[in-house]
Amino acid sequence: MDSVKAVVVYESLWGNTARIARAIAEGIGPEARALSTAEATAATIADADVIVAGAPVLGFKLPSEKMRESVRANPGKAPAPPDLSHPAMRTWLDALPAGQGASAAFDTRVRGPFGSAAPAIAEALEQAGYASAAKPVGFVVAGRFGPLRDGEVERARAWGAELATALE
């Protein structure tokens, strides 16, 4: 069986979502790549069987431009400045060309319930024509800025593997 061609695209200000994206890509297999919203251009996603997209939950939802500006202006107790070098997932989804592949969505968040981002991502992907292949999932960090809770990287890898099996 051919391995699944996948792009796992992420927005990540402090690296937690990027780490999960890489683990999901590892789980999917050798033809899966984890790319930031800056790297995942229309050309890079054009021949993907599945687009997996993820972002952190900030202010109870998918980060808005206002929230990104707020964390830039008020970094608070952040261990490092936020990485705002790549666009917001919202912006990336707004520019996503219509397609016919499969999709899946994830987010990273504190242990809640303090909102979600994955369902909003899933809805935008579906509206662009990418049929949902999995239920949106959240991966959990231990503190406001991370790190990921023990076992979450492994859970992400397993989720990616399950997704690949569902698509084969």
Ligand X SMILES: Cc1cc2nc3c(=O)[nH]c(=O)nc-3n(C[C@H](O)[C@H](O)[C@H](O)COP(=O)(O)O)c2cc1C
Q: Point out which residues bind ligand X (CB under 6 A).
A: 12-18, 56-60, 71, 108-110, 112, 114-115, 141, 144-146
Q: How far is the CB of 47 from ligand X (least distance, A)?
A: 27
Strand partners, 54: 10, 106
The answer to whether 125 and 153 are in contact (CB under 8 A) is no
C-beta of 2 vs 150, nearer to ligand X? 150
Nearest to 12 by CA among 147, 155, 152: 147
C-beta of 40 vs 141, nearer to ligand X? 141
C-beta of 15 vs 29, nearer to ligand X? 15
C-beta of 16 vs 37, nearer to ligand X? 16
The answer to whether 146 and 83 are in contact (CB under 8 A) is no
Give the single-character DSSP code of 146: B
Cα separation of 104 and 120, whole Å?
11
Q: How far is the CB of 129 from ligand X (least distance, A)?
A: 27
Residue type, 33: R
Q: How far is the CB of 75 from ligand X (least distance, A)?
A: 9
Q: How many CB atoms lie within 10 A of CB 156?
A: 26
Q: How far is the CB of 158 from ligand X (least distance, A)?
A: 19
